Chain A
């Protein structure tokens, strides 16, 4: 079955540590995205990538970094520069980078900073 996988489901980090969240898709989609969701709020875009080896900042990129070395993978690193990283992180993908393309979401990773 095609889909998007995220791992781990739950992640705990000590303050000052970097941590990397995994996102893999086997849908052959060109575009991939990372969102952050805080309790009771909608989604905010962190980074997105329309093609391999290219990515752009979203609305809240500070304290985060990404890479897109393979079409199917788009890992997100939460750095120690992110002041309030505790949140639910969602990865998504779409066929292309067009504004009307439907985005499909992974199950999410809940990050907690101890």
Chain B
């Protein structure tokens, strides 16, 4: 079945460091890909998304490119801030599904940024 695999955390970086959180997927058809962010004690917020191959999603300095050839959707940021500390979830949905139930989440990657 469809699945999402994220790099395990926690990831700890210093402020202004470069960030990459790896995400790869297995899916039938042509899924849409998402990154969600969860700040401590809160719900999930959509960070960015891409709906077709080679699309780049971007928001708040974060970027991710839909790579069909490598089935990847890695999250990147050039210079992280303390306020970026959160848990990041990669997810996919496929328009081929007949119901709304099939959003598949990765297990999440906790990111901590040191001042």
Contacts and interface: CB of A to CB of B under 8 A. Distances in A.
A98 B98 CA distance: 7
Interface of B: 32, 34, 36, 41-46, 49, 51, 89, 93-103, 105-108
B99 A43 contact: no
Contact of A100 (B43, B44, B45, B95): B95
A64 interface: no
Main secondary structure of the interface of B (DSSP, over half): loop
Given A99-B99, A99-B100, A42 B93 contact: no
A87 B101 CA distance: 20
Contact of B94 (A40, A92, A100): A100
Contacts of B44: 43, 90, 92, 105
Interface size class of A (residues with CB under 8 A): 20 to 34
11 contacts: A4-B43, A41-B107, A42-B106, A48-B100, A50-B99, A90-B43, A99-B95, A99-B100, A102-B34, A105-B43, A105-B45
A107 B40 CA distance: 10
A103 B103 contact: yes
Interface string A54-94: 00101000000000000000000000000000000010101
Nearest to B93: A99
A98 B43 contact: no
Nearest to A106: B43
A33 B51 CA distance: 21
A41 B108 contact: yes
Nearest to A43: B105
Contacts of A31: 100
A48 B45 CA distance: 19
A56 B51 contact: no
B32 A43 contact: no
A98 B42 CA distance: 26
Nearest to A97: B100
B105 A99 contact: no
A68 to B, nearest CB: 13
B107 A100 contact: no
Given A41-B108, A42-B89, A42-B108, A100 B101 contact: no
